[in-house]
Each structure stands twice: as structure tokens, then as C-alpha cells.
Amino acid sequence: MSHASIAIVPAAAEPTAGTVDLTAVDRAIAQFGTKPEALIPILQALQDHYGYLPQEALLHLCDKTQIKPAAITGVASFYDIFRHRPVGKYMIRLCRGTACHVSGADRVDEALRRELHIPPGDDTDPTKQFTIEAVACLGCCTLAPVVRISQTTFGHVAPEKVPRIIHEFLANVSASSELEKSTEKPTEKRPHIAEIRVGLGSCCMAKGSGQLYHALEDTVRRNRLPVIVKRVGCVGMCHRTPLVEITGASKNNTVYAGLTPALAPDALQRHFKPRGLLPSIARAWTSMANAILADRVPSEQIEACSLNRADREVSVFLDRQVHIATEHFGKLDPLDLDEYIEHDGFAALAKCLGVPAPIQTGTSKGHGIAQEKAGDHETAAHTTASHTRLAPEEIINQIAQAGLRGRGGAGFPTGQKWRAVRDQAAEKKYVICNGDEGDPGAFMDRMLLESFPFRIIEGIAIAAIAVGAHEGVFYIRHEYPLAVRRVRAALSEMEQRGWIGKRLLGSNYELHLSVMEGAGAFVCGEETALIASIEGHRGMPRLRPPYPAESGLWNCPTLINNVETLAVVPWILRNGPDAFARIGTKTSKGTKVFALAGRVKRGGLIEVPMGTTIREIVEEMGGGAADGRRFKAVQIGGPSGGCVPARLADTPIDYESLQQVGAIMGSGGLVVLDDSTCMVDIARYFLRFTQEQSCGKCTFCRIGTRRMLEILDRICDGKGRLADLDELEHLARRVSQSSLCGLGKTAPNPVLSTLRYFRDEYEAHINGRCPAKKCVPLIHYVINDRCTGCTLCAQHCPVGAIPMTPYQRHKIDDAKCTRCDSCRQMCQYSAIDVL
């Protein structure tokens, strides 16, 4: 059947220029199949190839598969990542997460558009070189504001840095691509006396750890040092990256923070001497030349980078932490299977299968594990008989005894969930790892998937055995490319050893695992919407019951667990449920991983016992508000959570206590807000997010949040009325009561919590004043009598609102002023006031 006369793309889409090469469509079909459920992966592949979805390609797809035009239109218009117009050569993805929002993402957006001369209402520059795309969250919240150009991430982007960033990207675009590929190579296995560990997670890479990694490798190679430079996962202290740890060179490990590639050779020389005559001469000659030219890197700079574990800034950040999900953080190569096994990896899984635990024998990567290969049937059967197998019922009992609750949001008891799936008398069951971490301001799942992919695989395999499933899916955000690559690479490594598939870890248990990327829909974090997405449909939640445990993926019983939930499962089975239950509170057991970000001095990835207070995390571990500001509130739980004021900072972080103060645990995003944050704007930010991300199925979620957003827009514009506050609360209750899924039910939470604790700010806006001086229609910039006429503000004003009048007190043209704040930030004399 031909569909040539059917328009598949939306009416607003531009026609395709020229003829489209359709071989990319045929390749995608060959890879993913012709069935309707292959639609989303095929569309992703086509967009990766063309940059958007050409009409001709979509028509060809319909002709060659079982996929209908209506399905393509429905799916392609639903998911945010799909584009229907040609784009520039390079994509600029601007993070709009909570931490980036409060750190000035709007001003960065304005600066990018000015620098690239992008016309109003468009997203691509006239030369078709760059296209700007807003992204809900890039998961690098400690580096806010964040911009990703192609595959290169830039952190702490200020508006005045935009021209330099564009220039830097264009100058290094080819090198950046090669750098990304080379940092994914396995750590070299050879005899060595020491390790140089470099964190290569997404945040670390954005801070330059990739370049540092190569500078260290180059120094080791040139000087023939008996050491290895080792890639490791997240180091947690994102505020001090890039971090380098040198182990084995002395009694105590040495840690450097903020080391640059230029400093790398001199730093290593402090620990290791070059081997051989030529490297020694070359190093001596370089040192002498540097000294003569007065260009030698001062040893004081390297010493300043040295980080002492006993320093209060370091110890207060680390000492409260208990590492379970993040066990061995900063030590393991994420993709070194032998090393994972050496640290008790797959010991819990082996216990559940009744096979011997894999043993690391110290040989090269890919070999040397004392474990039967898939084809060794007789040996595997013999050894299996000699090892006690932990029965599925006992696995579930131990998880229940540990008191583990789901770490993805609602905190449902994990053991109870597993038992519900186990009790289903179905021939086919599924397990799903929900890695669709859509909360803006959260990056825990990204870090766990990037740093510990084998641990998550072990967790989902144990869950599969417990419930009797033989197929599983990792559903991971499309915005987390490094996490996707590492999970796929880890699965590939296990497949090569024959440890997954027909014979899980050499046993007779069959388990097949695959990876599917999300497509940018926040609602797909909800279980039934996620299932719809895997099946190739729009991510629309469905009425429950039946719950996924009864009828989920392909109408089969399905277990869905969050990444962090699965990450702690192996630890519980290795150490016993009581060890886990002893940590935390009476009703909230164990630890919780949090992404500490926003307006805080020491942001990062932390894992603390349940019951730790907000104050202990924000003011002690995090060091309080940054830049001398006052800690005002903390936003916990993302769009479904709430804003807890500083006066309630002694609230313990557990499921029940947070609910009492109007927040929820959520997935673990914890964004600190200071006194420069407008709480009405924060409420509007979250409501805009949930309104845009609403699947549209429920009237109250679709229309109710729109009406609430209109009221908040009026208030932020200074046009609100006191009656609007009552209307907001009324609408919030109706949306919460009448929405189908949990996301709609909790959408009003940020509004309700800010009304509860910061009602005075709403009233101030209604009276025409923004106390935080953030809402543009309510503020004005004026220059006071401290002005010296230095012209710095005029030089940096992007719209020419400040005339160039040297040595005279400057004036700001209020009609031209866009309130971008550039002048105030550049002024060295505090001569600019915001009224």
C-alpha cells in the first residue's frame, strides 16, 4: 500500500529540500524490525541520521513496515525529542532544569540568540550552523547553567562567556569527538606499582577531566612510568572536579582537585621518576628550559590543588555518607567486569542461582574468571549442585525484611511489589529498570548507570529470578547518552562471556536484557506510561487497577523498579537484610542517594542514611548557600515535590516527615534556593514544566494546570489580585483529586507549598513588588552615585541601553533595558541597584 499522498508530519513542518537518501530508513528497519513496537527506536535512528524526521523517510517507513501513518503522527508529535524541520549543523541543547533556572538559564538563552543572530520566534541561525533546543534537564545540575553543543558539555555558563564558548567549540569540534571516543576505551591492563584514577562521568567530563585524563596518559607513556591511568565513575564531589587520585605511590593516597592538563606532568613528577635515559634527559631539559623562560608551573599551584581527606571541607562532605548504592565510588572502572567481580560483584546473583561466585584471577581483561563459560554444561551442572541456591521466596523475604522501599518516588515497599509479581501464575513475565529520570534537578540515576552498570545489571537479574521473569528492559533517558553507552557496553561484555542470555552467569536460568532510550516525555517516568512507550505508543498513563504487577508490558505481569532500588539489592543479599534495616529510621530504612545542587557551596552526589536532616545536608555537607547569600528554602522531589523553608531545616529526610511538610522524597533531587530566588517564579517554573509535560489525557491536568499557570503569569507580571490566591488553591485541589496518574495528582505541590510558606511573596507581587528582584515586569535597573564613569557596564550591555559616556555617571534607558543583569554583574563599584 502506498502512503505517498498522506501528510505524516505536522502542518507547521517545512518541506524537505531536495531528495532524501532512504538507505538510512532501510538500515533502521533492518536493525529494529517491521513491527509497530519498533517505531520509537526507528524514529530515533532516523533523527540521529537526518537531524529531523523528513516526510519522505516517514512515508518510506510506512511502505516497508507494519507501522501506520497515524501511529507515526501520534508518536512523533507526542515526544519532545522529535523534530519536523531541518536543523543546523550543530545542536545547542540548553538545560532548563531547576538548578539551571535559578542560576540564570534564561539569560544564557538570550545571550546565545544574540550571539548567533537567531531571529525572534526561530531556533536556527541564518547560516544554518546552530539550532537551539531547550532540554528539561541534562543531569549536570552541579554545573548550572549548563549548555551542550553537539556532544560537548559546558558548565557554569554565564551570558558573557557565550562568545568564547561558541569559538572554543568550533575550534575543537573534531578533537571533542575523538576525546569522547578515547575516554571510553578500557583501562590498560599491565603490571604497575600505582594507579592514577580520573573521574570520567558526565559532570567530570564537562569540567575537563577528559583532557586531563589524556594529559596524564601522555605523561605516563612518554616517561615510561610503571603506573596506569584509570577511568573511574562518579567521585561525588562535583564541586571540586576534575579529581585525580594517586594510589600506591606512598602510604596514603594523594588527591588533586582542579588539576589542569598543563599541570599534569609536574604533578606526576612529584610521585614518579622517569624510567630510562632519554625520558630522564627530556624531562630535565624541559624543566631547565621552563626555569630559564620563567614559564615553569609553580609548585605552589600544584600544592593548591592537593586535597587532604582531613580538611574540614572534605571530611564534612564525606564523613556523613554511607555508601551502599554507591559502594566503591571513585575506585572502579565502570566497564571493567573483572574489577567488579574482584569487589564482590555478582556474588549475590550467584547465590540466587546456586552457582559459585565468580573469582578474579588477575589476568587480562576479558579472561581469567574462575567461572564456567556458557558451553561448559557438565561442569556448570556439577558445580551448581554443590552450592546452595537462595530460593525466589527467600530472596523476596530478605528484601522485605530489609525494609527496602522504592527509591523512585512514592516509596512503595519493594518486597511487597516483588511478591505481587511472583504470585502471578503467568507463563511470561517482564522486569523493567526505570531509568527515565525526568525530574529537573536530579542526576542520581545517571550517575549510577554511568558508574556502576554491572551493579544495576546484577540487581535487575536478581529481581528477574525472584519474580520468575526471563526478559528485561533498561528504559533510560535519551538525554543521558553516556549512561546508555555504558549500560550497552556492560551488557555486551557479559554476552561475550556467555553470562547473560541462555545461561545467566553459567547457570541454567535464561535472561535476556535490552536497552531502550526514552524520547523526552517526563510522563514516561510513570509506570504505565513507560510501558506504553516500550510498546511503541504515546506515553499515556492508564487507569489502575490492573497494576503492572498483574498486567503490564504486552499484558504480562511486569516488575518495574527504579535504578537506585536495583542498585542496593546486591548489597542487601551479600550483607543481610538486618545490616540494611539498622540504617535509617523506623519506617524509612537504609540510605538515599541525593543530587545536591542549586545555590549551594558544595554540590555533588551524596548517599546518606534516611533520617538525615535537611540542615545536615545543606548547611553542613553543602556548606550553606553560595556567594554569601542566605539559605532560603530547598526544593525536594522535583515537579511532584515541594519547597521546604529554611526554618524547617531540622526536618528529617524520610518518607513520612517530608510528606508532613508538603514535599515528597521523589527520586532524590535536592535543589537549594537562596534569598535571590523568587518563590512565585519557582512555583511558576514547575507548573509550566508539568503543564508542558502533561500527556493531555485528563481534563483537570491538561486544562487545570493551564488555568493555574495563567494566574501565576498574571501575578509575576504584577497584574494579580488577592482572589487569585484562593483560586489557585481551589484549582490545585481539583487537579490533585481528579487526575489519573501520580504525576497529575502531585503537579500542584510546588504551588501549594510556596503558598503555604511564602504567601507574603505572592501578596508582594500582587502589590507590584518582587522581593527577590527577579520578575522582569516588576523591577528596574538604576545607576547610583557610586558610578565612576568607567564605561564597563556600557561595554557589556548587549542591547545598548547604557550610552557610552566616559567619566560621567551613566544612565540606563529603561525602555531598552532587558533586565539581563549583565551590567550589575560587571560593575566593580556596586553602582547599579535593582529596584
Bridge partners of residue 257, in order along the sequence: 243
Q: Lowest-confidence range among 202-206, 487-491, 772-776?
A: 202-206
pLDDT of residue 176: 64
Q: Higher pLDDT residue, 191 or 823?
A: 823
Work out the average pLDDT over 536-554. 96
Residue 10 binned pLDDT confidence (cut-offs 50, 70, 90)? low
**Residue 737 clears pLDDT 60, i.e. is over it:** yes
Question: Using one digit for the tens of pLDDT, what is the confidence trace for 67-120?
Answer: 999 999 999 999 999 999 999 999 999 999 999 999 999 999 999 999 999 999
Q: Higher pLDDT residue, 1 or 442?
A: 442
Q: What does the alpha-carbon distance between residue 679 and residue 685 come to, in Å, rounded to a whole number?
A: 10
pLDDT of residue 288: 47
Q: What does the alpha-carbon distance between residue 799 and residue 417 come to, in Å, rounded to a whole number?
A: 58
**Residue 250 clears pLDDT 80, i.e. is over it:** no
Residue 9 binned pLDDT confidence (cut-offs 50, 70, 90)? low
**Residue 550 clears pLDDT 50, i.e. is over it:** yes
pLDDT of residue 721: 97
> Three-class SS of residue 420?
helix
- Enter the DSSP assignment of 14: P
How do beta strands 669-674 and 591-598 pair? parallel
pLDDT of residue 251: 76
Cβ-proximal residues to 386 (8 Å cutoff; 6+ apart), any chain: none
> Three-class SS of residue 508?
coil
CB 555 within 8 A of CB 565: no
pLDDT of residue 379: 34
- Enter the DSSP assignment of 423: T
pLDDT of residue 177: 62
Domains of the chain plus CATH, in order, are 90-182 (3.40.30.10), 194-307 (3.40.30.10), 337-577 (3.40.50.11540), 591-677 (3.10.20.600), 680-766 (1.20.1440.230), 780-835 (3.30.70.20)
Work out the average pLDDT over 429-458. 95
C-alpha cell at 650: 531540622
Concatenated DSSP letters of 542-578? --SSSPTTTS-GGGS-EEEEEHHHHHHHHHHHHH-HH
Q: Lowest-confidence range among 18-27, 86-95, 249-258, 636-645?
A: 249-258
Cβ-proximal residues to 816 (8 Å cutoff; 6+ apart), any chain: 799, 800, 801
CB 535 within 8 A of CB 407: no
Bridge partners of residue 674, in order along the sequence: 631
pLDDT of residue 190: 74
Q: What does the alpha-carbon distance between residue 449 and residue 454 come to, in Å, rounded to a whole number?
A: 9
Concatenated DSSP letters of 637-670? SGGGSEEEEGGGTT-B-SHHHHHHTT---TTSEE
0.75 surpassed by pTM: yes
C-alpha cell at 24: 538510512
**Residue 309 clears pLDDT 90, i.e. is over it:** no
Work out the average pLDDT over 28-50. 97
Question: In Å, how far from its chain's centre is CA 3?
Answer: 40
**Residue 182 clears pLDDT 80, i.e. is over it:** no
Question: In Å, how far from its chain's centre is CA 378?
Answer: 45
Q: Higher pLDDT residue, 394 or 184?
A: 394
pLDDT of residue 413: 97
Residue type present at position 345 = G
Question: Using one digit for the tens of pLDDT, what is the confidence trace for 717-730?
Answer: 999 999 999 999 99
pLDDT of residue 377: 34
**Residue 183 clears pLDDT 90, i.e. is over it:** no
Concatenated DSSP letters of 118-144? PPTT-SB-TTSSEEEEEES--S-GGG-
For helices 453-467 and 414-422, the axis angle rounded to 10 degrees is: 50
pLDDT of residue 667: 84
Cβ-proximal residues to 103 (8 Å cutoff; 6+ apart), any chain: 144, 145, 598, 599
C-alpha cell at 618: 545543606
Q: Lowest-confidence range among 14-18, 297-301, 713-717, 720-724?
A: 14-18
Q: What does the alpha-carbon distance between residue 477 and residue 493 come to, in Å, rounded to a whole number?
A: 22
C-alpha cell at 486: 555504558
How do beta strands 147-149 and 152-154 pair? antiparallel
Indicate the Cα dihedral angle 334, 338, 344, 345, nearest 10°.
Answer: 60
- Mean per-residue pLDDT over the chain, rounded: 90
Q: What does the alpha-carbon distance between residue 802 and residue 799 come to, in Å, rounded to a whole number?
A: 8
CB 771 within 8 A of CB 679: no
CB 832 within 8 A of CB 784: yes
CB 224 within 8 A of CB 180: no
Question: Using one digit for the tens of pLDDT, what is the confidence trace for 363-380?
Answer: 433 333 344 333 343 333
Phi, psi of 173 (to 5 degrees): -60, -40
The number of helix segments (H) and strand segments (E) in the chain equals 35, 20
Q: What does the alpha-carbon distance between residue 633 and residue 679 come to, in Å, rounded to a whole number?
A: 9
Residue 185 CB neighbour total at 10 angstroms: 10
Q: What does the alpha-carbon distance between residue 131 and residue 123 come to, in Å, rounded to a whole number?
A: 5
pLDDT of residue 104: 93
pLDDT of residue 359: 76
pLDDT of residue 192: 82
pLDDT of residue 383: 40
CB 440 within 8 A of CB 493: no
**Residue 381 clears pLDDT 90, i.e. is over it:** no
pLDDT of residue 375: 38
Question: Could you tell me what percent of the chain has a pLDDT over 90?
Answer: 80
Q: Higher pLDDT residue, 493 or 278?
A: 493
Q: What does the alpha-carbon distance between residue 708 and residue 11 come to, in Å, rounded to a whole number?
A: 29
Q: What does the alpha-carbon distance between residue 713 and residue 732 come to, in Å, rounded to a whole number?
A: 16
Q: What does the alpha-carbon distance between residue 346 and residue 573 come to, in Å, rounded to a whole number?
A: 11
Phi, psi of 688 (to 5 degrees): -60, -40
Question: Using one digit for the tens of pLDDT, what is the confidence trace for 557-593?
Answer: 999 999 999 999 999 999 999 999 999 999 999 999 9
